[in-house]
Structure 1
């Protein structure tokens, strides 16, 4: 697992996937979410606009990234 710092209190899941380099583009994010490949705090998530807060853990393809403060 690696930490990904954000500058605000929260970030949308689609933006976080790109920031953490877990996907290359917004279109890729939409696809992996639609396919049910993304988990947030252990639960499958399909909403690209889901708000993440510091401490949330996002998993995709065996990689985990944690939202951390900047």
Structure 2
């Protein structure tokens, strides 16, 4: 599990994927979200601009990011 310390109120989903190095670029992050390959709190998510907040769990390719 990857623990990501949030600095501020939220982080956009695609920015979180980039910040944790699960993707190489914003374009790649947008594509994987649009393809439905990302789950947020157990639900498949297709909104690229979703605001991820403290307590959320994001899953992609078997890796889980816990936002703290």
TM-score (norm. length: structure 1): 0.91
User: Would you identify which runs of 4 or more consecutive aligned residues in structure 1 move more than 4 Å?
Assistant: none
Deviations along 1:4-61, one digit per CA (max 9) or x if unpaired, are 1121121110111111111111001011011110000000001110001101000000
Distance in structure 2 (CA, Å) of the matches to 1:22 and 1:56: 17
Contact 2:6–2:53 (CA under 8 A) maintained in structure 1? no
Root mean square deviation, CA, Å: 0.8
Per the alignment, residue 23 of structure 1 pairs with 23
SS of residue in 1 equivalent to 2:8: coil
The count of corresponding residues between Structure 1 and Structure 2 is 68
Distance in structure 1 (CA, Å) of the matches to 2:65 and 2:57: 6
Unpaired runs of 5+ in structure 2?
none
Q: Which has the higher strand share?
A: 1
TM-score (norm. length: structure 2): 0.94
Per the alignment, residue 11 of structure 1 pairs with 11
